[in-house]
Structure 1
Amino acid sequence: MDVRRAGERYSGGDLAAGIISFHAFSFGPHYDPDNLRFGPLLGCNEERLAPGAGFDEHPHSHTEIVTWVVEGELTHRDSAGHETVVRPGDVQRLSSAGGVRHVERNDGDVPLTFVQMWLAPLEPGGEPAYEIVRGIADSTPYAVPEAGAMLHVRRLAGGERTAVPDAAFLYVHVVRGEVRLDGAELAAGDAARIADAEEMDAFAVTAAELLIWEMAAG
């Protein structure tokens, strides 16, 4: 198990524009050849947008982009004609495939925080696709077959224990709260990368929310 602390993430964004970013993997000007990916996972970015702030239209290709809103509301618009507002509890996926452009903004009047995760597809190219699942139920897995991956969202009460999947690659990101994962203490913003995970569980020291990626070897 490789534990990465919240404070070890690369910080970025544009304070003057109301954007604060924290990157768990090599990203943009923060190039780290030893931290490019974990299995198919290429990025796990925490983005904080002030009211009215956002990312103007920009391109993506050959990436599966999954977004989880922590607080506030995210407005998404893309070149394929989709326009949605993503709220806490929703899972949004943009399959950029051969290429797509999109805009992400905080059009609300309260701060927005979201976690965005990027995965490499098993095969490049294809047509862009978009999906949003409203209010995904706890423990209901969300499949991203294009990347050989499955997202598990777990919301735990203090003192609750949950099994985590066996997987060739397992990535656990703590959205909020404190958990004990196979003896390792993790707090909000911390993450664990586990290769060949077997028979592990997570114990909620406090009420907690976890994003758990179960990923195949590819």
Structure 2
Amino acid sequence: MKKRFLVFAGIGILSVAALFHFAILGDSSMNSKLSEIQVRPYSQLPEMNLGWLSLKDHFIATVGPYSGRGEQLKNLLVLADAKIQPKSRFPDHPHNDMEILTWVVHGKLQHLDDKGTNQEVPAGHLQLMSARDGIFHAEGNSSNESLRLLQIWINPNSKGGTPVVQTAGLDKKGFNLLAGPENAPLILRQNVWMYVAKFENDEQLCEIPEDKFAYAVSIGKLAWNDKDLKDGDGLVAQNGMLSIKGTGQAIVILQNRN
């Protein structure tokens, strides 16, 4: 198990409103064309189960029999949908020169590192660990409840420097910009923008500009452009409008097309 884990550990702006426009129903954006979407079903993603840890990989597989296989999506190297059982955690391990985002779907993430951080990240919050010159940490579930998280690894556009560990949560209804190269609570060393919204039996729209594309993960029971997606499904969306409705969470990661 330790050997498999080491494979996992070793894999490694403009105005916000103008950059990625999110609209409420009834906005003039309803006249925009619907975005083309390509679904990556959760059921078809590479899977690994160690008992205390189970996960599905959207891009490069992190552990298990498919480790190292797959293809990154431009600057997105890893997007793992992981479930960690109570009182379980990854052992201490290093990272360097990697931007790592962890979105807590439900439960609480416990993070400890050699820089003195002892942090609990609750559901509905995003953690950035910008590893830079190097950080040694452990993460897991110290509670009595199950933990589900999405962990995203992003190749940085610069290297070195003092590591940074920060968190941000949703502070308004609709889509919240949580991470980006500027004008965001969490600053990334890459032209990647991450937005998150929660849905409670409602509908929201978002529009992707022509020079951008998005990778999204659907949590819960949501329909994207009237297509029902299952919990954990991913999708690639080109420029145009996304109509999202239902109950759950929508995670949208934006990148430049070129």
Q: Runs ≥4 in structure 1, deviation > 4 angstroms?
A: none
Deviation at 1:159, TM superposition (A): 4.4
- 1:7 is displaced (CA, Å) by 0.6
Is 1:198 the counterpart of 2:239? The answer is yes
Matched, 1:20 2:54: yes
Deviation at 1:136, TM superposition (A): 4.1
- Amino acid in structure 2 at the alignment position of 1:9: L
Trace 1:47-86 onto structure 2 (pairs within 5 A): 47-86=82-121
Work out which of the residue numbers 160, 168, 180 in structure 1 matches 2:224: 180
- 1:203 shift after superposition: 2.5
The amino acid across from 2:48 in the alignment is G
Corresponding residue SS for 2:201:
coil
Matched, 1:168 2:212: yes
Matched, 1:111 2:146: yes
Q: Tell me the amino acid that sits aligned with residue 199 of structure 2.
A: L
Match of 2:190 in 1: 147
Structure 2 residue 40 is the aligned partner of structure 1 residue 4: yes
CA contact (8 A) 1:91 1:136 kept: no
> Residues of 1 paired with 2:205 and 2:154: CA distance?
25
Q: Identity, % of aligned pairs?
A: 22
Give the distance between the partners of 1:131 and 1:164, measured in 2 at CA.
28
Question: Secondary structure at 1:97's aligned position in 2?
Answer: coil
Return the TM-score normalized by structure 2. Answer: 0.75
> 2-side partners of 1:72 and 1:126: how far apart?
31
Q: Please tell me whether the aligned partners of residues 86 and 142 of structure 2 are also in contact (alpha carbons under 8 angstroms).
A: yes
Larger Rg: 2
Q: What is the root-mean-square deviation in Å for CA atoms of aligned residues?
A: 2.0
Distance 1:97 1:80 in 2: 13
The range that moved more, 24-33 or 109-118, is: 24-33
Q: Flag the 1:99–1:170 CA change in 2: closer, same or farther, 3 A.
A: same
Q: 1:125 aligns with which of 160, 163, 167?
A: 160
Structure 1 residue 135: Cα displacement: 4.3
Contact conserved, 1:72 with 1:87, CA < 8 A, in 2? Answer: yes
The answer for unaligned runs of 5 or more in structure 2 is: 1-36, 182-188
Measured in 1, the distance between the counterparts of 2:171 and 2:59 equals 26
**Structure 1 length-normalised TM:** 0.88
Separation (CA, whole Å) in 1 of partners of 2:224 and 2:176: 22
Matched residue of 1:170: which SS? strand
Pairwise CA distance, 1:217: 4.4
Query: Does 2:211 align with 1:211?
Result: no
